[in-house]
Amino acid sequence: MKNYTKNWKGSSELAPASKRNSQGSSWYRPFLPLIGIAACIFLAVTLRIYYSEKTEELNRQSVRIHRELRKTQNEIVYLKNQRERFSSWKYVNAQLQKYNIALREATSTQVKHLRTLDPAPRRAGRTQGVAAVRGNDSYQYNTTSYINRN
């Protein structure tokens, strides 16, 4: 490869690269590796700072999420405690009494007779099935039995 150079007198001449290097412009050559190393260090430091910043950002984000999680966890624990308080029999019983809700214990003597009044509903049940298929919704299902309570 050939390069044109211009001398101080204004005339240009074609000089081979080997000759030009050997003539005086080669004094900075020993510093080239140093500059290269410095550039590498600079690049490495810049990259390090860049990635550290990114990591820190993520770190902060994770801390924030961690805090949120802990808050949610606390809320869950708080609600769990509240649920246990409200589901305790003492509390339920107090509410039943407060609002006078008629809650009776079932006893075996409550059902005295179980009597089928009309055997027809069995047939009616079958009819209803057919009626439903036909799209007849007006059919009323008969009560099969009555429970006499004390």
* Farthest-apart Cα atoms in the chain, separation: 134
The residue (of 78 and 141) whose beta carbon lies closer to another protein is 78
Residue positions counted in the chain: 150
Binder among 26, 56, 118, 141 for another protein (CB under 8 A)? 56
Binder among 11, 87, 100, 143 for another protein (CB under 8 A)? 87
What element of type H or E holds 93?
A: helix 89-98
In whole angstroms, give the CA distance from residue 9 to residue 18.
22
In whole angstroms, give the CA distance from residue 43 to residue 20.
32
Contact 12, 5 (CB under 8 A): yes
Stretch that binds another protein, among 10-18, 59-67, 96-104, 125-133 (CB under 8 A): 59-67
Footprint of another protein on 111-150 (CB under 8 A): none
Stretch that binds another protein, among 39-47, 51-59, 95-103, 133-141 (CB under 8 A): 51-59
Q: How many CB atoms lie within 10 A of CB 52?
A: 11
What residues line the site for another protein (CB under 8 A)? 8, 27, 31, 52, 55-56, 58-60, 63, 70, 74-75, 77-78, 80-82, 84-85, 87-90, 93, 105, 108-109
